[in-house]
Structure formats: structure tokens, C-alpha cells
Chains A and B, each alone.
Chain A
Amino acid sequence: MDVGTTDRDADFAAYMAARQPSLLRTAYLLTGDRHTAEDLVQTAFAKLYLSWDRVQRRELVDGYVRRILVNEHNSLWRRAFKRREVASGELPETRAAPDRPDDGESAALWAFVQTLPRKQRAVIVLRYYEDLSEAETAEVLGISVGTVKSQASRALAAMRSRVHDHPGITQDSVREEER
């Protein structure tokens, strides 16, 4: 007996409606750009849709889609890097124009987050925005708990130094980490 495409679509649409705003915010923090974030979320949902029948335990879906989101973001970055490498040999510009006016510490924090290497940035977003545990973050990113700890610790140390002491930080100062 067919479980039915309509069943799947109804379940999936309900999940999508419930999680879309949250995933978009996470994607925005990962990419720094709303349009890129929207594209990222759509691609993540498309890949989740292809796997929907296999995700038998619905409590695992959130972790799974976060993983898709992060991996897809890394993949997009790599593709962009390759294209630019061929064209100009330059690194891709990862900082988007600010979407809204901002100032003070919040602006400095956001500028700092945008300077982080993308894997470290993913650790920070999952740990301190999604409020995942170190183990959950490690699971989503496919890295060890030790790596999560060290990446988060280094980011916090850098934040203390740069945002506290030099709030006018620019991303150029840490661009080398992406290499």
C-alpha cells in the first residue's frame, strides 16, 4: 500500500512552515547576506525533501537539516572560490553589505563574526545562536568535541581582543585564516 506522496508532502510542508524562519536566521548568520541565506535554505529544504522518507525519526530532522545547511554553505563557498581562482586568483568577498544600520558593540560583534573562518563561524553560530551543546555542534559539523571546544575558545579569545580592545576591527586582519 502506498504511504502516499500527499502524506509526505503534507508532513514536509508542515515541517517547512514551522522551521523556515529559524533556519533562515541561522543561514543569515552563516552567510551574512539575506538573499544567499534564502537560497541556502531552499537548497537545504530540497535536499531534505529528497531524504524525507528516510528520516524515520523526526527528532533527528533538525540536526540533519542544519548539517545540510552548513555543508551546503561550505560547498557554495568552495565553488565560488574555484570560480574566482580561475578568473582572478583572488579570494571571494564574503562580507555582504550591511542589511540594516547598526552601531556600537553589536556592530563590532557582527563585523567580528563575519571575519571568522567559515568553519569557526559555524561553530559559533551553532553554539551561541542555536544553543547547541558542544556534542550536538560536533555532531552537526562532523567534527570532534575537542575541535568544537578549541574553535569556540579561540573565537572568544579573538573577540575579547578585537571587539573589546579594537572595536573598529576590519575583516582583512583575519582573512588569512580562510586560506
Chain B
Amino acid sequence: MSTHDEERLSRGLHDRAGDVSGAPVGLDEVKRSARGIRRRRRLATGLVAAAVVAVAVPVGLNAAGGPDAGRPVAPATTSPSGAPTRAGTPEPTPTLPNPEGGIPLTVRKAPAGQPAKVGYLRGRTYVAPDGTTRELPAAYDTVAPYRGGWLAVQRKQGTPYVVQVDSSGAVVSSQPGGDRIVTSDDGVEVSWVAGGKLYLDGTNGHSDTPQSIDLPAGADASPVGFVGPGTVLARVGAAQPEFWVTNFSGHQVLQGRILAVRATSMQRGLLGVETSYNSNDGTSCWKVATNQGGDREPASCDWTVNAFSPRGGFVAGYPSGVDGLGSSTVALLDAGTLAVKVRFDRVGNGETFVSDVAWEDDSHVLATLYEDGSWHLVRLGLDGGIQTVDQAPGAPEQSPFHFAAHP
């Protein structure tokens, strides 16, 4: 092989491709294509699941040790509700395991529950835990009660801004910042990133000057969560982020293989850490970092670690290969083992998925669910129960529901 030939070939290819241009592909077109791909994948998955059920149910086998270990076991019967759900066949009731073994993730036949115990956004409306509502100046990505008003994150042309809104609903300030606002377990401490600094207000606005530390110039940063009183874990950087733990008098950088941290537990000092990512199939591995040393830390390549329950005993997660539009399965896991306590699975092949979850108390998770062309706020229980809490219209790509920062 000669360099001359390689150069000729390279030059020839560059000459040929140099002036190639085409009609620009827009995001809407890409999303439409993505929805089509998603539907085809679901159809294929449904057919495979049907084949598996057809074989496994009569024999009564249940594989142990996989991602489904510990989940409620489907009865080895062939009742109508045990058959794969197809168009024109009866839907299983919400209280029976569906053919894939989990609780049907659907609002059909789900009873209406009590109002949510955590605040959330429905479009521009803030719904407080006591059920009262308040119109905000804009549709924000998240809010946190602050100084009698709110701190909010608003996306402007892709850049997150941290906006302070006073009790009258007037915008007090707005500056580029992080895409999260986090609060401590007691709701008193609030942390956010704005103007190149990571802030901590330990008095929820009752002090004149919040504490802060400087971030590297131009760093894309955001708090992830509290890991102790006055101690915040923050993501610093986007492409190869560092994870800082700071008490605002200095900071330490977490060491080890950490691709992302999605969850923290303030009470138990736990982190939900992504440790690896497989670019071939899009799956990832996660662990619960206990920071205790010695003991083996719970890990899983089947489930993500999205959110810890308030006392840190449980985790809400999705299958590790979940795609970008949302997850058709939500699992509540034991944080000590990452074994499944209960899982909720989409019924049939419809466009049903969850875009976000937040623990409401130590037994219940709130989830933003898209089903039948509408968005729903639902309550999922460790006991397998499912209740409807709120509903709003919206395109599948754009949930109107966003959870407020909450303990």
C-alpha cells in the first residue's frame, strides 16, 4: 500500500463529496421518523413476547436472576387477561399482572386518587401540594418554592435560564444557569447554578446572601442533589463531566468510573451512578454507590437508578435500554439489592410511555404517563396499585407535567 494511492483516493472522495448538499432534515421530520421506528420496534417486541408467553405459561417456568427476578409472577393460567393484548381482545384489569409479568401501566380502569403530595407544573400552572394552583409567567421546566415565590428554570433557544419569580408572579431576575434546582430533605436548603456559580441558600431565601462557589469559566453545570445537610453533588461539564461534592467551603471531585449521576439520597448518602454505556445497543450499567467501602455495591445492567425514595430504601428505574421518548416500563427496586419489588409494563402496542418519575413518599411514585393521546399524572405504589391524579393534553414529545423540586 502506498501513501500516494491513499492520498489519491482521499482526494477523489473529497472531490466527489465536496459539493454534495441536500434538503435539510428538520427536527419535526426526525421525530416523525423516530415515532415510526418506535412503533415498529414495539410491534416486533410484542410479537416476541407473545411467542415467549405462548411457550412459557403452560410450562409455568419463571427465569430467576434476570431483570424480572423478584417481580410478581404471572399466574400459570390461560385466562383471557393472560393472553397477549392485541386489538379487539379484552384488556387486563389494572390489578392483574399483564402478560409480560408486571402490573399493567395504564390509566384505563385506574381509580382517581388523592391530589399529589408534591408540587408540580401543569403547563404554566403550579399545583401546590395542598392542591391550590397559581399561574406563572411562563411554562417552566421546573420550579422550587423560594422566598415566597419561586426559582424556576426556563429554556430559551436551548439555553437554560434560572428565573426568580416573586410572590406576585413578577420576574425578579433571569440569567443563564443550570437545568436543575434541588432542595434538601427538609425543604429549607435550595441549590442552583447561575452566572457561573453554584449557589446554596440554607434558609430558603431568609438570608441576604446565599453561599456560592465559583465554577470553571463557561462550564455547563447543574446541581444533581443533596447528599447531606449543606452538601451538594453537582455535575460540572457536559461532554466528560466531573462530579463535585461541595459544602461550599471547597469541593472534592468524585473519582472512579462515573458517566452520570441521576439520583441522590440525602438521608443515606447514596448515589445512583451510571458506570458504563454500550454504544452498540444503547444499554447501560448502574450502581448504587454507598461510599461505605468494603461491601459490594448493588449494581445492575438491567435497570437505571433514576430516583431514591425519601428514606433511600427504594429506587425508581427504567429498563437500561429505554429509548429517548420515554419508557414503557417503570420498576420500583430495592435500593439495597436493585432487585425488582414491582414493575409496571405498558399494555399492548400502543404509544404509552413514562417520561419522568418522582417519589411522593416512601411507598408511592408519581409518574408522567402518555397514553391514548393524552398526558396523565399517575401514582404507582409499591403495592402494585395505580391511580390517576391529573390529566392534560399535549404532544407525545412535550409533557405538560414537570415535577417541582421537592424534598
Which residues of chain A have a CB within 8 Å of any CB of chain B? 1-14, 16, 20-21, 24-26, 28-29, 34-35, 37-38, 41-43, 45-47, 49-60, 63-64, 67, 99-100, 102, 105-106, 109-110, 113, 124-125, 128-129, 131, 142, 152-153, 155-157, 159-160
Contact A109 B9 (CB under 8 A): yes
Q: Is B238 on the interface with A (CB-CB < 8 A)?
A: yes
Given A2-B402, A10-B159, A106-B12; 9 other pairs, CB 8 A cutoff: A4-B155, A6-B155, A20-B24, A46-B37, A50-B323, A51-B323, A51-B324, A54-B277, A129-B14
A residues near B274, Cβ cutoff 8 Å: 56
Stretch of B175-183, B308-316, B339-347 contacting A (4+ beta carbons < 8 Å): B175-183
Given A1-B358, A106-B16 in contact, is the A24-B155 Cβ separation under 8 Å?
Answer: no
11 of the cross-chain contacts (CB-CB < 8 Å) are A16-B30, A42-B25, A46-B36, A51-B282, A53-B323, A54-B284, A109-B8, A129-B13, A131-B10, A156-B1, A159-B8
A residues near B76, Cβ cutoff 8 Å: none
A residues near B398, Cβ cutoff 8 Å: 5-6
Alpha-carbon gap, A25 to B38, bound state (A):
27
Q: Which of B356-400 contact A (CB under 8 A)?
A: 356, 358, 368, 397-399
Q: Once A and B bind, how many residue pairs between them come within 8 Å at the CB atom? A: 186
Given A1-B142, A34-B22 in contact, is the A125-B13 Cβ separation under 8 Å?
Answer: yes
Which one of A7, A49, A155 contacts B179 once the chains associate, using CB atoms below 8 Å?
A: A7
Q: Is B170 on the interface with A (CB-CB < 8 A)?
A: no
Contact A2 B141 (CB under 8 A): yes
Q: Is B240 on the interface with A (CB-CB < 8 A)?
A: yes
Contact B27 A53 (CB under 8 A): no
Q: Is B352 on the interface with A (CB-CB < 8 A)?
A: no
Q: Is B89 on the interface with A (CB-CB < 8 A)?
A: no
Contact A8 B141 (CB under 8 A): no
Given A13-B27, A45-B30 in contact, is the A128-B10 Cβ separation under 8 Å?
Answer: yes
Given A49-B30, A55-B277 in contact, is the A10-B155 Cβ separation under 8 Å?
Answer: yes
Contact A159 B5 (CB under 8 A): yes
Which one of A14, A35, A64, A113 contacts B12 once the chains associate, using CB atoms below 8 Å?
A: A113
Give A22's nearest chain B residue, CB to CB: B17
Alpha-carbon gap, A38 to B21, bound state (A):
9
B185 to chain A, nearest CB (A): 15
A41 to chain B, nearest CB (A): 6
Which one of B1, B27, B399 contacts A2 once the chains associate, using CB atoms below 8 Å?
A: B399
Residue from the set B22, B404, B405 with the largest chain A CB neighbour count within 10 Å: B22
B residues near A34, Cβ cutoff 8 Å: 20, 22
Interface footprint category on B: 35 or more
Residue from the set B31, B324, B325 with the largest chain A CB neighbour count within 10 Å: B324
B residues near A26, Cβ cutoff 8 Å: 17
Contact B13 A3 (CB under 8 A): no
A residues near B20, Cβ cutoff 8 Å: 24-25, 28, 34, 37, 99
Alpha-carbon gap, A173 to B302, bound state (A):
49
Q: Is B355 on the interface with A (CB-CB < 8 A)?
A: yes
Given A7-B179, A34-B20, A159-B5 in contact, is the A50-B34 Cβ separation under 8 Å?
Answer: yes
Contact A12 B27 (CB under 8 A): yes
Contact A9 B160 (CB under 8 A): no
Contact B179 A3 (CB under 8 A): yes
Contact B38 A58 (CB under 8 A): no
Alpha-carbon gap, A4 to B222, bound state (A):
14
Given A1-B403, A129-B17 in contact, is the A63-B279 Cβ separation under 8 Å?
Answer: yes
Q: Is B260 on the interface with A (CB-CB < 8 A)?
A: yes
A residues near B65, Cβ cutoff 8 Å: none
Give B159's nearest chain A residue, CB to CB: A10
Query: C-beta contact mask, B66-78 vs A, less than 8 Å → 1, else 0?
Result: 0000000000000
Alpha-carbon gap, A16 to B25, bound state (A):
9
Alpha-carbon gap, A129 to B28, bound state (A):
30
Give B395's nearest chain A residue, CB to CB: A5
Q: Is B295 on the interface with A (CB-CB < 8 A)?
A: no
Q: Is B207 on the interface with A (CB-CB < 8 A)?
A: no
B residues near A64, Cβ cutoff 8 Å: 279
Given A63-B279, A128-B13 in contact, is the A49-B324 Cβ separation under 8 Å?
Answer: yes
Alpha-carbon gap, A93 to B161, bound state (A):
53
Given A9-B27, A63-B279 in contact, is the A1-B22 Cβ separation under 8 Å?
Answer: no
B residues near A129, Cβ cutoff 8 Å: 10, 13-14, 17
Q: Is B218 on the interface with A (CB-CB < 8 A)?
A: no
Contact A10 B21 (CB under 8 A): no
Residue from the set A26, A28, A54, A160 with the largest chain B CB neighbour count within 10 Å: A54
